[in-house]
Structure 1
Amino acid sequence: MKTLSNFPYEHVLVLGLAKSGTAAAHLLIDSDVKVRVNDFKAEETSESVVGLKSKGAEVILGGHPLTALDGIDLMVKNPGIPYENRLVDEAVDRGIPVVTEVELASYLHEGPLIGVTGSNGKTTTTTLIYDMIQADQKPVSVAGNIGKVSCEVARYTSLEETMVVELSSFQLLGTEAFRPDVAVWLNLYEAHLDYHHTLKNYHDAKAKLIANQTEEDALVYNADDERVMSYVQSAKARRIAFSLEHQGSGAWADEQSIYFQDEAIMKREDIVLVGPQNLQNILAAVAAVKQVGVSNKAIEHVLTTFTGVQHRLEFVTETNGRRFYNDSKATNILATSYALRSFEKPVILLAGGLDRGNDFDGLKEYLSGVKGMVLFGETADKLATTAEEAGITSIVKVETMQEAVDAAYDLSTTEDVILLSPACASWDQYRTFEERGNMFTEAVHKLK
C-alpha cells in the first residue's frame, strides 16, 4: 500500500468526511502528514471519527470555526462543499491551496492515467474504457466520480496499471498539479450553475482537466462540440478527435461501421447500446483506449455485450406493451435531449427536480415525439410551461414517484415508451439520482 512521497505540505485540514474526506485523511496520516479534520454533521461516535482519532488526527465537529485553519498549509475539501463555505472562503483569502482528493491521487499513481470529464456521459464512457482495457487483459482500475475514491484506489495501483478516473467539475476545480496522460473531454453544456454561479466558471473548471498536459500527453475531444473546441485549440497535448459529423480522423462512424482513423473496428448493427449520445461515448472510449494499445478484438467484445450503466437509459421492463426506461442520471437538458432522441416510439416523459435557476427552452425542440409529460419537484411549473409552448396537451403534476409512474401509465398506450429522464438534479426530493431511479424502478414493478 503506497503513501505520499515528496509531498510539499506538512499540516493539512480535511474539510468534510464522507467517503472522500475519510480516505484522504487516512492517506495523509499514513504519509506522516499532520491532519486536522472538520465536519459539521459527523458524530463523535461515528466509525470514521473514532478511526481517525485513534490514528492521531485532530477532529473538530459541529461547526466550522476559523481557528481550524490555524497552522494549515493545505485544505482538502469534499467536492460538494461550495467555495462560499466560511472555511473555504477564508482559506482562499489566506492563500491556502484548496484541493480535492483527486489531487492526492495524482501524487500516488505512477502508471498511465486516463481522466474523463464532460457534462454528460462520463460514467458510461469511463466504464466502457475500463471494460475495454480489462477485456484486453491489461491491468486497470477505475475511480473518481463513479463511486470509488481516487486517492484510495491509487494506493494499490501498480506501475503497469492504467487508472481510469471519472471527473466532475467539482473535483477538477480543486486541482493544482493533476495531469492525466490521456484526457477525455466529452461535451460541455450548461450545468451546476448553483455551484459555479456562471457558465464561464463551470467551463473553466472543466478545462482544468487539460491545464497541465504537455506534448507527451493525449487529449481525446468532441470535435462536434463548439464549446469544447474553443478550449482545446490552445491545448499542448496531442489531440485526437471523435465525431459523428466529421469522418476520416480520430474515432468516427458512418452508417455501417465505427472506425479509428482509417481502420474499421466493427459494424454498428452489432453494438448493443442505443442512442446517439452513447455512440459518441463509444467513439470517445475507442479513441482513449487506442492510446494505451487496446486491441480491436477487446473493443468489439465489450461493445457487443455492454448493455449500459444503471440509471442511464436503463431498460427496466415491458408491461402491457409499454417499455419503461430509467434515465435518472439525466440531470440536465442535454442528457434528457439525448434520451429523447434515442426513441422512435411515442414517449411519456417523467421530468422535474431541483431548481437551479435555468429555464427549459433548450428542451422544446426535442419534445416533438413526446405525447405526454408527468412533472414533479421544484421545476414542475417551469417544465409545464415549456411543455405547453411545445404543444403538449397531456400534462400532469404529481408529488411522488409512484404517482408519476401511475399517471404515466394512464397517459400511455401500447408500444409507448415511458421514460424517466428528469433534466434536473434530484436533491429537492431525493438524496441521490440513484435513489430517484430506484424509486422509479420500484414503482414500475408495483404497477398492476
Structure 2
Amino acid sequence: MSRSFAGQTIGVLGLARSGLAAARLALGRGAHVYASDAGDGEAARAAADQVRALGGDAQTGGHDLAKLAACSRIVLSPGIPPTAAILREPAIQGVPVVPEIELAYEQLDGPVIGITGTNGKTTVTSLTEHLLRAAGIDAVAGGNIGTALSELALREPQPAWNVVECSSFQLGGIDRFTPAIGMLTNLAPDHLDWYADLEDYYADKARLFRNATDASRWILNAEDERAATLIGDAPGTRYWFRAASMPKSDDELGGWMDGRELRIRTEAGRTESLGSADRLRILGPHNIANALAASLAARLAGASAESIAEALPRFEAPPHRLQPVSERGGVLWVNDSKATNVASTRVAIRGMSRPTVLLLGGRHKGEPYTEMAGDLAGRVRTVIAFGEAGAQIAADLSGAVDVQHVEGGFDEVMARAASVARPGDAVLLSPACSSFDMFRNYEERGRRFAELARGEGE
C-alpha cells in the first residue's frame, strides 16, 4: 500500500511522539512538511529541530495559519481534541484534517487489527500483540497505545500485522482506514468535556465500521447492548464475546466462558478450549472478556488455539491498568491511573476483592460521580477525593461512603491513603478523571503513585 507523497504539502499539528513520527513519515515519502506545536517546551523544540534536520519546516509556541492554509491536508496528533481552537480558524476550514493513523495507514504493507471502545482497549491491544508474537507471528501494537502508527510504517521491514488501538478522536477523522479485523470492546460515557453530547462520542466510535466490506471480521461485545448494536448493518462476519453468558446458538461465532473454561469458535462446527480463566494474571472479571476478545483476534490472525492457551497465563497487566505495584504492611497498592472515566472506575471497583481505599480525582470530564455510588457499598471503605474535581466528588458521594477531601498535592493524597489503609486493605488509584490538573498525562500520575506506594522518593 506504500505510496509517495511527492508534490504534497502536509501540515502536522502537535510535535509529541505521534506528530513527530507523522512528520518523519511524510518527509520520508517525499512530501513538503510544516509541523507546529502550540507549546514551546524542551521536548517540542527538540522535535522541531528533528523535523528541520530532515528538511521540513517546524515551529513551536504557535501556528502559522498561512502555512497551514497552503497544505494539501493537515495531520492531527491524537493528543489534540476536535474542539481545539486552531481547528476552528476560518483560514484552514478548506483544508482536510486527518488523524495520524489515517496518514500512516496509507503506508502500511500489512493488515490492521483495529481496536476501539471506551474501556479495555489498551489491555486488549497489548494482549493481542502478546498472543500473536507468542505464536511466532510478527505483530506490533501501535496507535493510541503509545507507539505511533507512523513509526510502524517507517520500520524496515514492516510488521506482518499492525495491532492498532484507536481513540474516538482518531476514528472521527478517518477516510480510508480499514481494519481487516475490527473490535469494539464496550461503550460508556466519556470525553463529555470535549464532545457536545454522548451521541457525538458514539458516532465517532461507529466510524470503525465506515469502510466495512464482506471480507471484514468484527469482534463485538454481546453483553453491552449499545456496543453490540453500534455496527448497524455494516457488512462482514461478526464474532461475539461473552464473559457472563453462553452463545445464543450452536452456530454463533465468538468466545465465551463455560464454567471456568474459556472457549472460542471462529468457524462453524469447531469449538476450541483455551484453558481455565483461573490461570489469567490480569485482575477483575472484565479481564475475562478482554482475554476472550484478544484471543478471537489472535485466532483470526493466524495463531493456533494451543499457542493462545499457552500464552494467556503469561500476560501481565500493562502499566497503569489495575496493576499491582506494591504490598507493604499488608496493604496492596493498585495502579489504575488509566481509568479516566466513571465507567472504567466502576469496573475497577467491582474487580476488587479486598476492602478498598479509593483515590478519586483530577480534572473533571463532565460525568456525575453519583453513578458509582452503588458499586461502593461493601467494597470501598473510604474515598479520598483530590484535585480540581475533589470538591464535586465529595459532594456527589458523601452520602454513600466515607469521603475525605484532600486539597493538597498528590504526595499529600498518598500520605492520607497510607494513614487510612489497614492491613488487608487495598489502595486503588482509579481516579475517574483526567490527570491534567497535576500531571502531564495519566502515565506520569501512575508512575508517581507507584513510586510512593513502594516507598521511593518520599
TM-score relative to the length of structure 1:
0.93
Amino acid at match of 2:331: R
1:325 pairs, out of 328, 334, 358, with 334
- Pairwise mapping of residues 387-398 of structure 1 onto structure 2 (< 5 A)? 387-390=397-400, 392-398=401-407
Matched-pair contact (CA < 8 Å) for 2:255–2:293: yes
Match of 1:122 in 2: 121
Change (3 A) 1:263 1:79: same
Distance in 2 (CA, whole Å) between partners of 1:152 and 1:46 is 20
Cα separation, 2, equivalents of 1:438 and 1:377 = 17
Q: CA offsets, 1:91-141, max 9 Å, x none?
A: 796332101110012111122210111111111111110010000011111
> Using the alignment, how far apart are the partners of 1:80 and 1:401 within structure 2?
23
CA distance in 2, matches of 1:234, 1:93: 35
Work out whether 1:415 is the aligned partner of 2:413.
no
- Distance apart, 1:86 and its partner CA: 4.5
Give the root-mean-square deviation of aligned CA atoms: 2.3
Match of 1:39 in 2: 37
Q: Which string of whole-angstrom CA distances, capped at 9 and with x for unpartnered residues, describes residues 396-427 of structure 1?
A: 42422332222223222221111111111111
CA distance in 2, matches of 1:267, 1:62: 54
User: What corresponds to 1:175 in structure 2?
Assistant: 174
1:207 aligns to what?
Answer: 206
Partner of 2:134: 135
User: Is 1:260 matched up with 2:269?
Assistant: no
Q: Could you say what secondary structure the match of 1:208 adopts? A: helix
Percent sequence identity over aligned pairs: 34
Paired position in structure 1 for 2:391: 381
> How many Å apart are 1:242 and its aligned residue?
0.6
Please give the per-residue CA displacement for 1:374-394, whole angstroms capped at 9, x wherever unaligned. Answer: 11011112221232231x235
What's the counterpart of residue 196 of structure 1? 195
Consecutive unaligned residues of structure 1, counting only runs of 5 or more, are none
Determine helix, strand or coil for the equivalent of 1:48. Answer: helix
2:147 alignment partner in structure 1: 148
Q: Distance in 2 between matches of 1:349 and 1:379?
A: 14
Aligned mates of 1:438, 1:61 — CA distance in 2: 28
Partner Cα distance (1:320, 1:251) in 2 = 40
Q: What CA distance in whole angstroms lies between the structure 2 residues aligned with 1:400 and 1:318?
A: 23
Kept in 2, the 8 Å contact 1:91–1:98? The answer is no
Alignment length (residue pairs): 445
State the secondary structure of the residue aligned to 1:325: strand
Partner of residue 93, structure 2: 94
User: How far apart in 2 are the matches of 1:101 and 1:64?
Assistant: 18
* 2:414 aligned partner: 405
Aligned match of 1:307 in 304, 316, 327? Answer: 316
**Do the aligned residues in 2 keep the contact of 1:185 with 1:228 (CA within 8 Å)?**
yes
Match of 1:19 in 2: 17
2:448 is the alignment partner of 1:439: yes
Taking the aligned partners of 2:20 and 2:391, their CA distance within structure 1 comes to 40
Match of 1:367 among 363, 376, 382: 376
Q: Where in structure 2 are there 5+ consecutive unaligned residues?
A: 266-270
1:10 paired residue among 8, 11, 14: 8
Change (3 A) 1:157 1:342: farther
Q: Which residue of 2 aligns with 1:109?
A: 108
User: Contact 1:396–1:407 at 8 Å: present in 2 too?
Assistant: no
Which deviates the most, 122-131 or 89-98? Answer: 89-98
State how 1:71-90 maps to structure 2 within 5 Å: 71-90=70-89
Shift in alpha-carbon separation, 1:425–1:13, aligned structure 2, 3 A: same
2:260 is matched by which residue type in structure 1?
Q
